Structure 1
Amino acid sequence: MSIWNLDQRDLWGADAAASYDTPGEGMFAPDVLGPTLDRLHALSEGGRVLELAIGTGRVGVPLRERGADVSGIELSEAMVDVLRTKATEEELPVVVGDMATARVPGDFSLVYLVFNTISNLYTQEAQVACFRNAAAHLAPGGRFLVELWVPRPQPVTGGRHAQVFTAEDGYLGVDVLDMAHQRVVSHHIHFDDDGAARVWFSPHRFIWPGELDLMARLAGMELESRHADFAGAPFTSDSPSHVSVYRLPERPAD
């Protein structure tokens, strides 16, 4: 079976859910999570908040603890099971389903999709549907925030190439990119003390910033801001990622 035919629920099953959380480290580190929560809390402006692909609650749970009214959508029941060890359904309701189509009752002032997760949708059609689903959840004037990495240009020759995105003690992260089809397979290699290696991979469809802006327009939203990170650093040609905020008009256009 092709990697591109794998169901996301299989990739994000019980094993992935059990090892996803790394408290105080990696994407759970205070210097990563703190600015994320600060920005989301400010953008929510006291209204209801919806996280697409909420996972184990890395962001949604501490955002709720700051006083936000958070709901979520998540495809993997295994990830939701881990979230439920941190917050009940009454405290943080989650609809199990596809972030491109699942609906949560009511309107929201902020919908957000962090840590490159929109690229878990393998086609442009599905990604456009995700933007439209986000817009359908927003109250007039509401915002949709997307955090996404920026692919590096390919070498002069060859249609596929690899990029190391993380190299540290006990862990190596490598992306193998297919530029012609806007596909990337991320390889996560963990080294045990005895020298053994464990490899986990995840396929993605990457999106250029300009393409993301067009998806927003198709969903009736406009780009409000773009920064290199949650702390508000300027976005430049050298930025490896971006945090983009799109806004739904206060009232429908004539």
Structure 2
Amino acid sequence: MTSSELWTRATAERYDAEEAEMSSAAVLGPTLAFLTELAGDGRALEFAIGTGRVGVPLRERGVPVAGIELSEHMAAVLRRKIGEEELPVVIGDMATTVVPGEFALVYLVYNTITNLLTQEEQVECFRNAARHLRPGGRFVIELGVPPLRFLPPGQVAVPFDVSERHLGFDTFDLVEQVLVSHHFTRDDGDGRYRRGTSRHRYAWPAELDLMARIAGLELERRVADWDGAPFTQDSTKHISVWRKPIRGRATGLST
């Protein structure tokens, strides 16, 4: 078991409704196109597949998909959408759990690698991805760039959403490299606000590249979004692609 916080039944049951915008065609279209191209004629493995926001429509596009998910409650919601034979899911953590077979693509979306709260576990996640990839296969991560430029001296919080139904802000522990996301969400039923928090270990792109080298993977591409926009110093997130070498050992650190 990793240090990841476990999603509860209540959280799993309302997850799709609260993340409806992330399931829109405008968001999912470029994501699915990007992943489908990388998978080619091979299989794809999603770490932390959750309720299947990406995995289910990717399977519907013809890509054979398998998943790893820590929360049985999240996997149960996914299972209402698609059967085990069509999209198998193994319950376990993404740093150590092994799924049979080789894959052309392993991917992690929507900042999910930050659920692993230590650097060691994040390194093991890269190693686990490399373990599952066939030679020439790719590991893809979608991750926000830590917004520390918005954190002046003496300030401890950065807002990321201020809307009618939701107020969200992050607080940072710069020593431990951990952020806590705070959410105040208004329930449609009685209009009251529900508070929730979650912990995450943020990581910079350069740190992820070193993790990839430790796992024997090589950076192939980094863009600012699923549509392929260039990654710059002003980008708020990145899509990074690392490749498992086809022949010989990768350059860099050994495992």
CA contact (8 A) 1:22 1:28 kept: no
Q: Does 1:243 align with 2:234?
A: no
Query: Residue 144 of structure 1 aligns with which residue?
Result: 139
- Deviation of 1:60 (Å): 0.3
Q: Find the residue that maps to 1:244 and give its secondary structure.
A: strand
Which residue of the partner structure matches residue 177 of structure 1? 172
Q: Does the Cα contact within 8 Å between 2:217 and 2:244 map onto a contact in 1?
A: yes
Q: Give the aligned partner of residue 54 of structure 2.
A: 59
**Alpha carbons of 1:23 and 1:165: their partners in 2 closer, same or farther (altered >3 Å)?**
closer
Distance 1:153 1:76 in 2: 30
SS in 1 for 2:98: coil
Distance 1:72 1:195 in 2: 36
Match of 2:211, SS?
helix
Aligned match for 2:31, one of 27, 36, 44: 36
Give TM-score, length-normalised by structure 1.
0.93
Structure 1 segments unaligned to the other structure (5+ residues): none
User: Post-superposition shift, 1:6?
Assistant: 7.3
The one-letter amino acid paired with 2:247 is: R
**Residues 1:49 and 1:55: Cα distance change in structure 2 (over 3 Å):** same
8 Å CA contact 2:68–2:97 kept in 1: the answer is yes
Asked whether 1:46 is paired with 2:34, we answer no
Q: Structure 2 regions of 5+ residues with no counterpart?
A: 251-255
TM-score (norm 2): 0.92
- Root-mean-square deviation (CA, aligned residues, Å) is 1.8
* CA distance in structure 2 between the aligned counterparts of 1:31 and 1:208, rounded to whole angstroms: 27
Contact 2:4 2:116 in 1 (8 A): no
Do the aligned partners of 2:45 and 2:65 also contact (CA within 8 Å) in 1?
yes
Query: Closer, same or farther in 2 for the Cα pair 1:184/1:68, shift >3 Å?
Result: same
| Residue type at the aligned position of 1:99 | M
Q: After TM superposition, give the deviation of residue 191 of structure 1 in Å.
A: 2.2
Residue 92 of structure 1 is aligned with which of 70, 87, 90? 87
How many residue pairs are counted as aligned between the two chains? 247
Structure 1 letter corresponding to 2:228 = G
Structure 1 residues 225 and 66, CA gap change in structure 2 (3 angstroms)? same
User: What CA distance in whole angstroms lies between the structure 2 residues aligned with 1:186 and 1:24?
Assistant: 15
Greater shift in the superposed pair: 43-52 or 163-172:
163-172
CA shift in 2, pair 1:192/1:90, >3 Å? closer
Letter of the aligned partner of 2:26 in structure 1? D
| C-alpha displacement of 1:29 | 1.9
Alignment-mate amino acid for residue 37 of structure 2: A
Aligned-pair identity (%): 57
